[in-house]
Amino acid sequence: MLIAGFPAGAWGTNCFVAATGPGTECIVVDPGQDSAPGIAELVREHRLKPVAILLTHGHVDHMFSVTPVAGTYDATAWIHPEDRHLLIDPMAGVSKETARMLLGGDHTFTEPDDVRELADGATLELAGLTLSVDHTPGHTRGSVTFRTPYPADEVSEVMFAGDLLFAGSIGRTDLPGGDHATMLRTLRDKVLPLADDIVVLPGHGEQTSIGRERATNPFLQDL
C-alpha cells in the first residue's frame, strides 16, 4: 500500500495521496491551499491516476484546491452533506481573521463537476481501497473520518482524521458549525472504541495512533 502526504499552504494542512501501490488509481484526501503541485509531483513519481477527492470537512484550508484538482484528473469529490455548502461559500465556516486574509486575494470557489455525498457508516470502494466513513461532527457539522485496512502486522487500519484528532490535541470548536459538546460525544463514541493499533493521519501535524492518544491526550482522559 502507498500513502504519501505533505503539508500544504499557509495553514500547513496535510494533504494525502493513497493507492494500493505504484502505477494504479489513487485517492486524494484534503487538497488544501497550494496543494496541486505537490499532488501532481506524487502522481508523476508513482505513476498514479486520481479518481476520487475525499474531504474530511469543508473548511477552506482542507478544500481550497478541490475543484481544480478534481477537474485536472476528472475525479469525483466526496463530502458530507452538512458541509457541502462550504464548497461554494467557504467564508461561512472560517474565523474573521481567515476571512480577512482570503478577502485580500482574488478567490472564487465553485463546486467540482462531480460531487457525491458521504453518509455515516458507508463503505466506499475507490481505487482498489476499502474506506469506512464515520460521521464525526464537532469541528464542523459535516466532519468525517476515513479508515482503510493497512497490510502490516502492527497496524490494522489507517485513519484520515481531518481536524478531529491530533497528536496531543483535538480540533477547535469555536468556528461556525463547531460545537464542543458534540465534539466530546464524537470522541467518546467514535474514537475511543477504536483499536489502539490504528494509525491516525491528522489534518495538521505529525501522525499518531489511537493507543497513543488514548494514553496521553489530555482531551480524552475524562471521556
pLDDT tens digits, 18-52 = 999 999 999 999 999 999 999 999 999 999 999 99
Q: Does the pLDDT of residue 175 top 70, yes or no?
A: yes
Position 23 scores a pLDDT of: 97
pLDDT tens digits, 98-140 = 666 665 556 678 999 999 999 999 999 999 999 999 999 999 9
Whether 28 contacts 50, CB under 8 Å:
yes
Mean residue pLDDT of the chain comes to 94
Q: Which three cell numbers stand for residue 52?
A: 476520487
The pTM assigned to this predicted structure is: 0.93
Domain ranges (residues) in the chain? 2-216
Looking at CATH, the fold of the domain delimited by 2-216 is given as: Metallo-beta-lactamase; Chain A (3.60.15)
pLDDT tens digits, 73-94 = 999 999 999 999 999 988 776 7
Count of C-beta atoms within a 10 Å radius of residue 196: 12
